[in-house]
Every structure is written in C-alpha cells, then in structure tokens.
Amino acid sequence: MNFLKRTWAEINLNAISSNFKRLRENINCGTKIMCIVKADGYGHGAERVSMELQEAGADWFGVSNIEEALQLRKNSIDKPILILGYTPPEMAKILKDYNLTQTVFSLEYARQLSESAGLCGVDIDIHIKLDTGMGRIGIPVCEDIKNVVETAKQICTMKNIAARGIYTHFARADEGIHDNSQTKKQFELFLNVTEALQKDNIHFELRHCCNSAATLSHPEMHLDMVRPGIILYGLYPSPHIRGVDLIPAMELKSVISMHKTIEPGCSIGYGHRFTAARKTKVATLPIGYADGYTRVLSGKANMLVCGKRAPVIGTISMDQCMIDVTDIEGVTAGMTVTVIGHDGNEHISVEQVSDIAGTINYETVCLIGKRVPRLYFKDGDIVAQLNYLQNNNSLICSK
C-alpha cells in the first residue's frame, strides 16, 4: 500500500452500518429504506458502501444515472435500484436486463420510454416523479391538480411501462421544524395527487418523499419508503437537523513530504500570500485542490499533526499545500497528517472544513478526488481498498 505515503481517505464501514441501523430504529414500522449512493456514495465509494448497506438490510438503492446503477449491479448489489435522473429511452433494454427502475418525470418522456420498451419487447418498472416545489424535474403540481392527475393516469395506462411507485422531493426540509411550512405544503400537494389517483383505482406499491432531513424531522411523512443519503455517511443535512446520533464514516489523511525552516520575511506559495513574521517551520503535504482540498481554504484552515492544530499557510496548489508546524515538536517527513478526522483529543470535522470553504458537507465529501484512494476499515481491520487510478477502478478486498 505505497499510496499511503501520499494522501488517502479512510472509510469506517462500522459507522456506515451503525448509521443505517440507528435510522432503521427511528423510522415508522413497515417503511422501507432506499439508500442513496449516488455520486460514488457521496465520495465514500459506492461499491463497498452499498455492499455494507445491503448486508445491513437496505431495501432499495437510489442512484443518479444508469452508469451508477450498472456499477452496483456489477458488484453484487441485487436489491431494487431506482434511477433518479434521466436515462435515454433507447436504453430500455438495458434497464430491463439489469432489473432497474426508471424515474419518469413527464408525459413526453413516458411516451418515449414506452415506445422504446415496446420496440425491444420488454416491460420496464417506473416511478413517477412529481414536482411539488423543488423546480427541477418532475410533473409540475399546483393547487389545481386536475392536469397532473390526468397526466399520471395516462402514464399508468401506457404499454410496456409499469408504474410501481410515485414520489416527490422536498426543497427546504433541511431548515428544520421551525420553518417547515413549505415542506408541509409540498407534502399536502403530493397526498392530494396520490389520493385523487386512488379514488380512480390507481394505486402504487411505493409512495416516497422524505430525504435525509425529512426522514429525521417528519415521521408523519415517511409513507411507504424514505430516501436517506447524507445521514448514512454520518453527516447531518444541516445544523438544524439532529434526532439520531450519527458516526462520520470518512477521515482524510495525508503525509509530510518535506519540512524546512524559513527565516522572517520569506514568502511561500503562489502569489506569496504568506510571509513569515518569525522563524517558521513549514511542512509540505501532497494534497491540493485537485484532491478536493479546495483553494478557498488557503490561509484559513487547520490540519492535525501529533494531535495539535497546524495552520494551512500560503496558497493551496493543485497538488500540494503547506502548514505551519513551528509550535509542534518532533515533526518529521513521512509523518501522518489528519486533514479531516481525529488525532488525539483534537478533531477537524467535515462541517468545520465546509464552513470555512463557504459550502456544505455534501459538497466537501463529494469533491474528494479520484486520485485519493479509499481504504475501508471494519472492526479495526483493513478489509478493502479502492484505487481509482489502478486496477481498473476495481475494489480490492483484503479479507
């Protein structure tokens, strides 16, 4: 594992399974769980994370596109998979061959998918997406639901597609229970449509609308299935949402590739944005914005060395950055540095890094680059590793 001499991410699989089980204990009895593992499992590595979640009892998986779905199918994931985004209609046969459920978000797209499936001689399972206020994809729903009900009825009667589910997505559920009027409005619109369809004897096996935030905050909206994402990885959707104790699954580590002492008045990095005011010990690390450690953190963030905080100094480069280790004893080349995670009594969280960068925890973990290998731990042992630049992106199991 020579890559450990550069930069890597450690993924705690026990944390993944624990977060899932705690979630299971806090949702309504009989409600299924669709685990959202899009964007490479929010940067944690979709293959191994999905295997862990399937073993823990996941009912469904949710992905963004057909490529992500096929990745799961080719790595022993046999639970139902919903593609949340667009799939070209001409790929209908692949949807069927791999037992994938496709989101349908407009009458036109439903017709195209139905026609393509018919030409291939296959039947495809679909879930209808309603846009109750998110404003992305979905059949638009307003106070007068007649048109959307009629559209849904037409879709449900089309040949070669079977509407097994119907869902929507909340736009502001992460604002918490103190400002949930918009979430309640979206939920009411969703129920109005599904109840109107039920009166016309159109029923769905699965109705779902709760993302991570709503799953934690609105048990009355769980319905037949919830769709947690960020909370599976031990991160909260916002500071306003709690309710379940989560364990962050990812830590990001690097090493000191070089250290030196510079004199007062010496500058380092692009633009010389740091000039030493005293004799300063500088450590260089092989991590930069191409690895997901964004340039915005320059001169603002800290890392952990020997259990102590070391300020990031100078401008973060594409491949490297520098920290001030003047006040830390015993620093040597090759020493491990914690970029995100624990070291002794100190801790740098994803949220702390995100706040400094002016973004959210979702983006911070998703941006961890593909040249950063993922190392998977379970019960304290390394059980697998994923190196995107070697082994054809395949997961290597250690035990």
User: Model confidence over 94-148: pLDDT tens digits?
Assistant: 999 999 999 999 999 999 999 999 999 999 999 999 999 999 999 999 989 999 9
From CA 331, how far away is CA 326, in angstroms rounded? 9
Average pLDDT over residues 254-269: 97
Q: CA nearest 209: which of 191, 233, 195?
A: 191
Q: SS3 for 244-274, per residue?
A: CCCCCCEEEEEECCEEEEECCCCEECHHHCE
Total count of residues recorded for the chain: 399
Residue (of 210, 211, 241, 213) closest to 223 by Cα position? 210
Give CA–CA dist 4/223, Å, rounded: 45
> Among 304, 313, 256, 289, which Cα is nearest to 364's?
289
State the Cα–Cα distance between residues 110 and 126, nearest whole angstrom: 9
Helix-helix angle 146-156:107-120, to 10 degrees: 0
Domain at 13-233, CATH homologous superfamily:
Alanine racemase (3.20.20.10)
**Given this model, what pLDDT does residue 5 score?**
73
Average pLDDT over every residue of 244-255:
97
Domain with CATH 3.20.20.10 in the chain: 13-233
Cα(19)–Cα(27) distance, integer angstroms: 13
Q: Contact at 8 Å (CB) between 72 and 47? A: yes
Average pLDDT for 254-279: 97
Nearest alpha carbon to residue 322 among 389, 253, 274: 274
* Residues whose CB falls within 8 Å of the CB of residue 303, separated by 6 or more in sequence, listed in order: 254, 285, 309, 310, 312, 323, 337, 338, 339, 348
Query: Is pLDDT larger for residue 319 or for residue 242?
Result: 319
Q: Contact 233/365 with Cβ under 8 angstroms?
A: yes
Token output for 82: 């919903």
Catalytically active residues, by annotation:
38, 270
Assess whether pLDDT exceeds 80 at residue 26: yes
The model's pTM is 0.95
pLDDT in tens, 159-173: 999 999 999 999 999
Residues of the chain with CATH 2.40.37.10: 250-397
Confidence of residue 175 (pLDDT cuts 50, 70, 90): confident
Give 180's pLDDT tier (boundaries 50, 70, 90): confident
Instruction: Give the pLDDT band (50/70/90) at residue 44.
Output: very high
Q: How far apart are CA 209 and CA 227, in angstroms?
A: 7
**pLDDT reported for residue 1:** 47
Question: Is residue 169 within 8 Å of 137, Cβ to Cβ?
Answer: no
pLDDT grade for 202, boundaries at 50, 70 and 90:
very high
pLDDT score recorded for residue 390: 85
- The 10s digit of each residue's pLDDT in 349-396 is 999 999 999 999 999 999 999 999 999 999 999 999 999 998 666 666
CATH topology of domain 250-397: Lyase, Ornithine Decarboxylase; Chain A, domain 1 (2.40.37)
pLDDT for 284: 98
Single out the residue of 263, 262, 338, 259 nearest to residue 304, CA to CA: 338
- Both tokens of 165, joined, read 């589910």
Q: For 53-109, write each residue's pLDDT tens digit.
A: 999 999 999 999 999 999 999 999 999 999 999 999 999 999 999 999 999 999 999
